[in-house]
Amino acid sequence: MNKTFTLDGREIHFETGQTIMDAALAAGVYIPHLCHNPEFAPHGSCRVCVVDIGGRQVSACTAAASEGLQVDSSSEAIQATRRAILQMLFVEGNHVCPACEKSGACQLQAVAYYTGMLAPHFTHFFPRRPVDASHPDVVIDFNRCILCELCVRASRDHDGKRVFAISGRGLESHLVIDSPSGLLGDSSFAAGDKAAHVCPTGAILPKGRGYETPIGERLYDREPINIIGDVRAHEEEVV
Amino acid sequence: MAEKPRVATASLCGCFGCHMSLLDIDERILQLVDLVIFDRTPLTDIKTLGDCDLGLIEGGVANAENVEVLREFRRRCKSLVAVGACAVNGGIPAMRNQFSLAECLHESYRDGIGVHNPGIPNDPEIPLLLDQVHPIHEVVAIDYFLPGCPPSADAIWTFLTRFLEGRPIAFPYTQIHFD
C-alpha cells in the first residue's frame, strides 16, 4: 500500500507491476519518450526515456518501479545522453524537417526541442531509402522511420493483422511490410487501422492532405511536449 | 573602448533565406551596425575576408568553392556559427544525396523535361560539385548552431545580442524550430 519512489526529488506513488514510466505518467510527470505508448507493451528500444538509478542508466518504460528508488530524469548528464541518442536517430535517417508534412506536430522533433538539441553533431549517414506510395490512402516514407515498432505492435496487438515487422540486424534493421510485393498497397493495411495513427515521426502519413495547419499554430509550435503531451493524445483532433 | 567586433557572413549551398531573415530584424539593424563592423558579407559586397570575431555561415557544402570559403572562414573567424537548416544538417539541397551526382546532372542538363541544348556545363570557372551535400560541421569545427528554415529574425537577434554581450547562448522555446 502506498509505495513510493523518488523522481528528481519528488515522491511518486506506484502500484506493484508498474514501470517507472507508468507511475510518472500517472503522476503527471513527463519523461521524454518515443517508442513508448501506454496502449502497447513497453518496447524499450529508442532509449530516449533513459533515467539514472544509482549510477545505472535504464529505460524508464521497461524498468519496474520499486520502493525507495532514487531516480534522476532531469540532470544535465541525463539530458545530454538523451540528446546524443536523438542526434544518432537524426543522422541515421533522412529527417528533412523543412520539407516534412509532419513538421511542427512531430514527436521526434518535439523531444529534440525538449532536450535542447540544436544540431545533429554526428556525421550523417544519408541512407538511400524508398518511399512507398502504393497504398491509396496512406504513404510510408522509410527515410523517417526510427524503428520504434509502434506500427508493428499496433498492427499485431490491436489490428490483428501483422502488416509490419522489423527485418535485418544492426545497421541493416529496417521496416518490412507483409504483402507478396512488399508494398503497402498490396497488404491488408487500411487507413482506419490503429497502426496508421501511432507513428511518432512522419514515416506513416495520410494521403490527400498536408501542410494544413499554418506555421505558428501547429501542435508543438507554442509549447513544449512536456506540456502538450504525445502526438497520439491529439490524434483524434488531427484526424 | 576597444574596436567593435567584426562580423562576416556567407551563403554556401543555401537559398539566401537566412540572410533575408537576418535583414528581417528590421530597424534593429541600425542597432547592429552600431555594435559591429561588417567584414566580408553579401550585405557589404566586400569580397575579401579579414580577421573576424564572428562568422555566420548559411548553407551546406555542395561544391569545391563552398569548401574553400568555409575553410577560410574557419581560419579567419574566432567563432563560427551554422545558421539555418542547410548549414546545420544539409537541408533541402542534401536531398540530392539520395541520387548519384551523375543522375542529378543527367536529370538537370540532359534528360529532364524541357531541357534545350542538352549538355553538362563544364566551364572551368564553374566550381566542381561534390558527390554529396554535407552540413558544415562535417567539414570544419563549428562553435554555435542556429537551426531553422530560416531561423527567425528574433532567433538571430537573440543569438547576436547574447553573443555580443558575452552572455550564454540560450533561446526562448518558440525561437527554436527545425523548419
Kindly report the nearest CA distance between residue B163 and chain A, in angstroms.
16
| Inter-chain touch B177–A113, beta carbons under 8 Å | yes
With respect to CATH, is domain A87-238 assigned 3.30.70.20? yes
What's the mean pLDDT in A196-220? 95
How many CB pairs below 8 Å do chains A and B form together? 69
| A53 bridge partner residues | A56, A71
* Residue B71, pLDDT above cutoff 70: yes
Task: Mutate one of B89, B137, B175 to test the A interface: name it (highest A CB count within 10 A).
Answer: B89
Kindly report the nearest CA distance between residue A206 and chain B, in angstroms.
20
Domain boundaries, chain A: 3-74, 87-238
- Cell triple for residue B29? 539593424
User: How far, in whole angstroms, is CA A37 from its chain's centroid?
Assistant: 8
Q: What is the pLDDT of residues A3-41, one digit of tens each?
A: 999 999 999 999 999 999 999 999 999 999 999 999 999
Q: Return the CATH class of domain A3-74.
A: alpha beta
**3-class SS of residue A5:** strand
| Inter-chain touch B146–A118, beta carbons under 8 Å | yes
- Domain carrying residue B66: 6-95+129-175
Interface of B with A (CB under 8 A): 82, 85, 88-92, 94-95, 97-98, 132, 134-135, 137-138, 142, 145-147, 149, 173-174, 176-179
Q: Which helix (H) or strand (E) holds A141?
A: strand A138-141
- In our burial notation (b when 16+ CB lie closer than 10 A, e otherwise), range A108-121 reads bbbbbbbbebbbbb
Cα separation, A43 vs A152, in Å, equals 11
Kindly report the nearest CA distance between residue A198 and chain B, in angstroms.
22
**What is the model's pLDDT at position B3?**
87
| Inter-chain touch B92–A113, beta carbons under 8 Å | no
CATH number of the CATH domain containing B66: 3.40.50.700
Question: What's the length of chain B?
Answer: 179
User: Cα–Cα distances in Å, from A79 out to A26, A111, A206?
Assistant: 22, 11, 33
Four-CA torsion B134, B138, B142, B146, nearest 10 degrees? 40
* Residue B2, pLDDT above cutoff 90: no
Query: What's the burial of A163, exposed, middle or buried (CB within 10 Å: 0-12/13-18/19+)?
Result: buried
Cβ contact B57:B73 at 8 Å: yes
Q: Across the interface, which of A98, A123, A128 has its CB nearest the CB of B98?
A: A128
Total domains in chain B come to 1
Considering chain A, what is the average pLDDT of its residues?
Answer: 95
| Inter-chain touch B92–A104, beta carbons under 8 Å | no
Nearest CA in chain B to A115: B173
Cα separation, B139 vs B78, in Å, equals 16
Q: Where residue A237 falls among pLDDT bands split at 50, 70, 90?
A: very low
Cβ contact B9:B140 at 8 Å: no
| Interface pTM, i.e. ipTM | 0.94
